[in-house]
Amino acid sequence: DAGVIQSPRHEVTEMGQEVTLRCKPISGHNSLFWYRQTMMRGLELLIYFNNNVPIDDSGMPEDRFSAKMPNASFSTLKIQPSEPRDSAVYFCASTLTTGLTGELFFGEGSRLTVL
Amino acid sequence: AQSVTQPDIHITVSEGASLELRCNYSYGATPYLFWYVQSPGQGLQLLLKYFSGDTLVQGIKGFEAEFKRSQSSFNLRKPSVHWSDAAEYFCAVAPSNTNAGKSTFGDGTTLTVKP
């Protein structure tokens, strides 16, 4: 089975531009998570969805960030307008939430550079 | 709220030597505990997890970890390190009976393996 698929793997953009990151979770998984990784702050949970519904977006830095999950096989994380401090690696992860928590399956990440 | 501390930012060991990476957590009850490994340019991959039962858990790639409630620790060990083990290692804790995605990650320990 294919793992979590993220695109693009690398994105370089200029300040003020809109950035859209995409994620396809593992088929059958019902929870999806967006994380951001930076040297300064480590790995931070931005938002997570359960059955396509956003459950907790308390980690979203500010209104410039938004995330959607229109169906079980696709999610986007959008930054508009982007700023240099948004430069980071953004990971998407998925899991199947059942009686016991399972492991997180991570994509390979999208490295964003905002100039 | 839970928290995770990985006291060692960087560890260097010789190939063939034993390894122990430290992890201390703070949580009011017995948490779910995880160790993940991240190779350069890759997403995180689960090495092992502890939910309950035997406090010594075996993982992939010859790793094991021991849950010690009295010390609030979940240290990762490997008897003989291989050069391919060079990577960054993350300890994570999630509240019991909740979603693995609510895991809090430590800041990571970077492992360098000397030939």
| A76-114: b (≥16 Cβ within 10 Å) or e | ebebeebeeebbbbbbbbbbebeeebbbbbbbbbbbbeb
Candidates B42, B99, B103; nearest CB to A108: B42
Looking at chain A, the whole-number percentage of residues with pLDDT higher than 70 is 95
Instruction: Say whether A93 and B46 touch across the interface (CB within 8 A).
Output: no
Name the token pair of B41.
């340019």
Using one digit for the tens of pLDDT, what is the confidence trace for B30-80?
788 999 999 988 889 999 999 888 899 999 999 999 999 999 999 999 999
Mean pLDDT of all residues belonging to chain B = 91
Nearest chain B residue to A4, by CA: B43
Q: CB-based contacts of A85: which residues, under 8 Å, 6+ apart?
A: A114
Looking at chain B, the whole-number percentage of residues with pLDDT higher than 90 is 72
Closest CA–CA distance from residue B19 to any residue of chain A (Å) = 23
Match 């979203």 to its residue by tokens. Answer: A60
Peptide bond into A54 cis (omega under 30): no
- Residue B90 touches partner A, C-beta closer than 8 Å: yes
Asked if A36 contacts A79 with a C-beta cutoff of 8 angstroms, the reply is no
Looking at chain B, the whole-number percentage of residues with pLDDT higher than 70 is 95
Q: CB-based contacts of A98: which residues, under 8 Å, 6+ apart?
A: none
Closest CA–CA distance from residue B17 to any residue of chain A (Å) = 28
Closest CA–CA distance from residue A83 to any residue of chain B (Å) = 23
Candidates B34, B43, B97; nearest CB to A91: B43
Q: What amino acid occupies position A81?
A: P
Closest CA–CA distance from residue A78 to any residue of chain B (Å) = 20
| pLDDT score recorded for residue B104 | 87
Residues of chain A with pLDDT under 50: none
Helix then strand then coil, % of chain B, to nearest 5: 10, 50, 40
- Residue B41 touches partner A, C-beta closer than 8 Å: yes
Residues of chain B contacting residue A98, judged by C-beta atoms under 8 Å apart:
none
Peptide bond into A8 cis (omega under 30): yes
Secondary structure (H, E, C), chain A? CCCCEEECCEEEECCCCCEEEEEECCCCCCEEEEEEEECCCEEEEEEEEECCEEEECCCCCCCCEEEEEEECCEEEEEECCCCHHHCEEEEEEEECCCCCCCCCEECCCEEEEEC
- Residue B20 touches partner A, C-beta closer than 8 Å: no
